[in-house]
Structure 1
Amino acid sequence: MMGLQVKKLRIGEGVPKICVPVTGVSREEILEQSGSIARSGPDLVEWRCDYYRDILKEGCCLRMLELLSDVFKEIPILFTFRSSMEGGNCEISPEAYETLNLAAADQGIADLIDVEVYRDGLDAKGLIKKIHQRRGKVVASNHHFDTTPSVEDMTKLMKGMENMDGDILKLAVMPQEPKDVLNLLLATSQVSAGTVRPVVTMSMGNLGTLSRISGGTFGSAITFASVGEPSAPGQISLDDIRMIFSLLHK
């Protein structure tokens, strides 16, 4: 696995990078959260814009990205609209989803753009190509909030992301038993050993917490942590992740 350069950050090399989501629902809440997160100094941040109640109002998305850029400066920003079908906070049509992501790519502030590559009705490969034409970088993602697919199926899902030309391959699953967590880590190890692209995986919920801590050992390049309220089940606080990483990655 080779690294991906995003601003001054090299994703996929060395210690896994720590990403903190921004989940405010209003302009004021987003900026308040962002200030606290910026002061905590994560490696990168994810703006979960599906939480923003004005996200689909004309001009609001791009204006908020401008404000976030002023707050985070050299900290890379991952732009994510997580649809309700994959655990997000609101729904959006495939057409509006593509329009929103291309507008973010055209603006050029978002350093990474999340694309749900297996979304029904979306030409994900075409969207990724359009984002790349705008010099954007893509996190190709897929989320399973009810189950953990087989090792073979998880491997196929991530290889499919690679075939669609995602710059980072991200898979999140929900375990039903401890073996599911081991299966995710095995799939992570297999895929990361056979690709030059950074792989990001997580097993969610309390049962999957181990994957957020030790995923880097198996090839996962990013872990998601919280400052304040978590945005996904099983997220650990930024301070706790840093403490654990200081022991695991001396």
Structure 2
Amino acid sequence: MELVASPVEMEKGEIRRNPTLICAPIMADSVDQMLIQMKTAKLSGADLVEVRLDSLRSFNPLQDIETLIKHCPLPTLFTYRPIWEGGQYDGDEKSRLDALRVAMELGADYIDVELKAIHEFNNSMHGRKPAQSKIIVSSHNYENTPSVEDLGNLVARIQASGADIVKIATTALDITDVARVFQITVHSQVPIIAMVMGERGLMSRILCAKFGGYLTFGTLESGRLSAPGQPTIDDLLNLYNFRQIGPDTKVFGVIGKPVSHSKSPILYNKAFKAIDFNGVYVHLLVDDVANFLQTYSSTDFAGFSCTIPHKEAALKCCGEVDPVAKSIGAVNCIIRRSNDGKLFGCNTDYIGAISAIEDGLRGSHPISSTSGSPLAGKLFVVIGAGGAGKALAYGAKEKGARVVIANRTYDRARELADTVGGDALSLNELLNFHPEDGMVLANTTAIGMHPKVDETPISKEALKSYALVFDAVYTPRITRLLQEAQECGAKIVSGVEMFIGQAYEQYERFTGLPAPKELFWSTIA
């Protein structure tokens, strides 16, 4: 069964911009469970299923394979992965290859044979390959991602083995490793499945649709992975708009460490889809922001949101920086200019956060605004002296507040306080700091963020002097800090308000279009 989608094929009334297939790995103890999963895969939107024979507890090759092919509602790919290639099968090699040959003879659309075993498999076929079945020859590297030259040589060896489709899977030690696999994919003269395993390799599984990959793998549910770093089918289709990714799709993303908690892809991809904007927004787990930006220097990689801990380092990578961001000393938004590829950095954190805090003090709807800042004259305490702390301190000072910086390291607090014209405290000193009532507290650290939700930067007793408490953490929405502040009678503003507020300007810079504010709120609320 030939599976190729036209780039202009209509799917649910939408243009499909790529022919890349979505394959659902089927891993279960029994054939009956596999049949149930196959139906789920069909309903989920998969194009084909990978039957992982090595996951079966007991197995009668002739009978079970016939049943699986006969009752599967989708085209089938049979894989019988041995332990030495990262699978679960530890039995006789001849029996394993015989089972794959049986799958071909019974009508499997694809079988996967490891490069290390393909010579033996070819010999066992005696030239009798069924015409309707394609052989995927695969190589898995669980250690690293080789050089472009070595990857090219590997692809050539796989192709020379008689493969109909080449499959390579490597491991990402750094997100820049993915660039080498993209380079191999886009220049491949044969159908190729190429992916990079692990969280740092996630975008390889999404952007293969942009660079011409034959298929990608999507799990039926979170946590049931056949290889590290696989997204779910639901995420591919409904979070990343996989069918709408094409060769000319612009890539955006959130740079951070950690980053998997970020809700930015939900926000931007939903907005992109609503207006048919040809862009995709992905999670980018980055260790070295300068190395990342230098590696992905194509104008196809058009813009990035920047979060903890890269906001200050990112500023140094930009050829041009907005004066406000330069004053703050941090950027949270990077735009690659389409005409010359140079990077422009700006800071939208202080706009989103300060607006949210002002609205909290006024008690108004987050989207509304009123002239005159309720922050004027207030004592504004910022916890944290990193990029977000600098942004909040700068923004509060601009609104006429008196600023105090509290940080675990006093010297860093003092440095920022001197920069913005404020006072400094250590975090321990903050516990007994209550010179007046009606103060505003803003936590800009990651303390209390998932998964360490029981942590808080300040004791409940110390919160009683504050009229409003803001937490930049938005996962969870109500942190321990906010819950205890509310119990003390303070107004609270969550990181969600800041997150959406700062996203308005980023979206407009990414797209050149007005931000869909109500859509943003309905998406995150």
Same fold (TM over 0.5): yes
What one-letter code is carried by the residue in structure 2 that aligns with 1:15?
P
Contact 2:137 2:163 in 1 (8 A): yes
Q: Kindly indicate whether residue 229 of structure 2 is the aligned counterpart of residue 234 of structure 1.
A: yes
Q: Kindly indicate whether residue 203 of structure 2 is the aligned counterpart of residue 217 of structure 1.
A: no
Listed one character per residue, the Cα deviations across residues 115-147 of structure 1 (whole Å, up to 9, x for unaligned) are: 10224x952543576462575320111111122
Contact 1:140 1:168 in 2 (8 A): yes
3-state SS of paired residue (1:177): coil
Listed one character per residue, the Cα deviations across residues 122-173 of structure 1 (whole Å, up to 9, x for unaligned) are: 5254357646257532011111112212211111111111111111100001
Structure 2 counterpart of 1:83: 82
The alpha-carbon distance between structure 1 residues 35 and 246, as it changes in their structure 2 partners (threshold 3 A), is closer
Q: Tell me whether 208-217 or 124-133 shows the greater mean CA deviation.
A: 124-133
Q: 2:123 aligns with which of 102, 122, 126?
A: 126
3-state SS of paired residue (1:123): helix
Structure 2 counterpart of 1:4: none
Distance 2:95 2:208 in 1: 34
Distance 1:232 1:26 in 2: 20
Distance 1:177 1:21 in 2: 26
Distance 1:9 1:173 in 2: 25
Contact 1:94 1:122 in 2 (8 A): no
Percent of matched pairs sharing the same residue: 31
What one-letter code is carried by the residue in structure 2 that aligns with 1:91?
D
Listed one character per residue, the Cα deviations across residues 68-102 of structure 1 (whole Å, up to 9, x for unaligned) are: 234323x2100111111111012233322322222
Listed one character per residue, the Cα deviations across residues 180-218 of structure 1 (whole Å, up to 9, x for unaligned) are: 11112112223x1xx2x3111000111100100101222
| Aligned-residue RMSD, C-alpha | 2.3
Structure 1 counterpart of 2:61: 61
What one-letter code is carried by the residue in structure 2 that aligns with 1:240?
D
Distance 1:77 1:203 in 2: 23
What one-letter code is carried by the residue in structure 2 that aligns with 1:10?
V
Structure 2 counterpart of 1:150: 147
3-state SS of paired residue (2:66): helix
The alpha-carbon distance between structure 1 residues 199 and 8, as it changes in their structure 2 partners (threshold 3 A), is closer
Q: Tell me whether 99-108 or 147-156 shows the greater mean CA deviation.
A: 99-108
Contact 2:24 2:46 in 1 (8 A): yes
Distance 1:20 1:208 in 2: 18
3-state SS of paired residue (2:89): coil
Q: 2:44 aligns with which of 40, 52, 57?
A: 40
Shift of 1:177: 1.2
Contact 2:25 2:219 in 1 (8 A): yes
What one-letter code is carried by the residue in structure 2 that aligns with 1:137?
K
Structure 2 counterpart of 1:51: 55
Shift of 1:63: 2.3
What one-letter code is carried by the residue in structure 1 that aligns with 2:166?
L
Contact 2:101 2:125 in 1 (8 A): no
3-state SS of paired residue (2:129): helix
Q: 1:9 aligns with which of 3, 16, 28?
A: 3
Gaps (5+ residues) in structure 2? 8-17, 247-277, 279-525
Distance 2:125 2:237 in 1: 32
Distance 2:75 2:126 in 1: 21
Q: 2:112 aligns with which of 94, 114, 133?
A: 114
Structure 2 counterpart of 1:208: 201
3-state SS of paired residue (1:226): coil
Shift of 1:33: 1.8
Structure 1 counterpart of 2:162: 165
What one-letter code is carried by the residue in structure 2 that aligns with 1:111?
D
The alpha-carbon distance between structure 1 residues 41 and 215, as it changes in their structure 2 partners (threshold 3 A), is closer
Compare relative contact order (CA 8 Å, sep 6+) and give the higher one, 1 or 2.
1
3-state SS of paired residue (1:82): coil
3-state SS of paired residue (1:104): helix
Contact 1:173 1:203 in 2 (8 A): yes
3-state SS of paired residue (2:111): strand
Shift of 1:37: 1.7
The alpha-carbon distance between structure 1 residues 47 and 186, as it changes in their structure 2 partners (threshold 3 A), is same
